Each structure stands twice: as structure tokens, then as C-alpha cells.
């Protein structure tokens, strides 16, 4: 029984690490692709966990930002709005 629990915990940790690594990798590519810096701010109007980038971006547009993206912050998925600095 303990062996099964350890495998489950190890599997969950592996998935979490992959999610974090993927999120960090996409951020670097986005920065390099545009060639200039972006200012980022957590959305003040988005409510709940952020799972869909298109929903996040729509809310960010209402806040005056051209882009929005869900990302991990403080162990939660939150909506962050971006604009050129």
C-alpha cells in the first residue's frame, strides 16, 4: 500500500514540474519572438482559477491590455495581462 502511495505522489510531482517547466519555457519564447519588453500585471477583474487563455485575454482587453495569459502564481493559475512597456 505504501508503495502505491509513493508512486502516486511521485507521479503528481512529476506532472507539476512539467507544467511549471512548460509555462516558463513559453514565456521566454514569447519574449524573444516579439523582440521588446512587456509589462505584466495580474488582472483585477478576472475571478476564479484561470484555465483558458482566451477568457483571460478578453478580460484583459476590458482592462486596457492587448494580451492576457493564464499562468501559475503562488500555487494557483491566475490571469496576467500584458502590454508593451
pLDDT in tens, 58-79: 999 999 999 999 999 889 999 9
Strand segments (E) across 1-85? 38-42, 67-73, 76-84
Q: Residue 28 above 50 pLDDT? A: no
Q: Which CATH number is 37-85's, of 3.30.30.10, 3.40.50.1100, 3.20.20.70, 3.20.20.140?
A: 3.30.30.10
- Average pLDDT over the chain, rounded to an integer: 77
Domain ranges in the chain? Answer: 1-35, 37-85
Rg (CA), the chain: 16
Tell me: pLDDT of 17 over 50.
no
**Cα–Cα distance, 32 to 12 (Å, whole number):** 31
pTM of model > 0.95: no
Amino acid at each position: 500500500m505504501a508503495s502505491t502511495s509513493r508512486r502516486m505522489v511521485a507521479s503528481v510531482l512529476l506532472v507539476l514540474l512539467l507544467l511549471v517547466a512548460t509555462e516558463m519555457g513559453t514565456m521566454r519564447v514569447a519574449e524573444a519572438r516579439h523582440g521588446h519588453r512587456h509589462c505584466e500585471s495580474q488582472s483585477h477583474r478576472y475571478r476564479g482559477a484561470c484555465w483558458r487563455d482566451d477568457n483571460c485575454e478578453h478580460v484583459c482587453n476590458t482592462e486596457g491590455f492587448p494580451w492576457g495569459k493564464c499562468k501559475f502564481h503562488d500555487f494557483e493559475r491566475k490571469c496576467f495581462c500584458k502590454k508593451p512597456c
